[in-house]
Amino acid sequence: MTLERGDLAHARRVVVKVGSSSISGDNAQKIGPIVDALAAAYGRGVEVVLVSSGAIATGMPYLKLDERPSDLATQQAAAAVGQNVLIYRYQAALRAFRIVAGQVLLTAGDLENPTHRSNARRAMERLLGLRILPIVNENDTVATHEIRFGDNDRLAALVAQLVGADALVLLSDIECLYTRPPDEPGATPITRVAYGDDLHGFEFGSVVVNSVGTGGAATKVSAARLAAASGIGVLVTSADLVDQALAGAEIGTWFQPNPEPTAAPATGPVRTAVDKLVG
Annotated binding site: 17, 53, 140, 152, 172-173
Q: What kind and span of H or E run contains 105? A: strand 101-106
CB 30, CB 239: distance < 8 Å: yes
Q: What kind and span of H or E run contains 134? A: strand 133-138
Question: Which residues are annotated binding-site positions for ATP?
Answer: 17, 172-173
Measuring CA to CA, which residue among 238, 279, 229 is closest to residue 259? 229
What is d(CA 141, CA 73) in angstroms, rounded to the nearest whole number? 8
What is d(CA 223, CA 17) in angstroms, rounded to the nearest whole number? 11
CA atoms within 13 A on the CB side of 167: 30
CB 206, CB 272: distance < 8 Å: no
Question: Which residues are annotated binding-site positions for substrate?
Answer: 53, 140, 152
Give, to the nearest 10 degrees, the angle between helix 152-163 and helix 114-129. Answer: 70
Q: What is the DSSP letter of 71?
A: S
- Taking each continuous run of H as one helix and of E as one strand, the counts in the chain are 10, 12
Q: What kind and span of H or E run contains 172? A: strand 167-172
Q: Which residues contact 10 (CB under 8 A, 6 or more apart)?
A: 44, 45, 46, 248
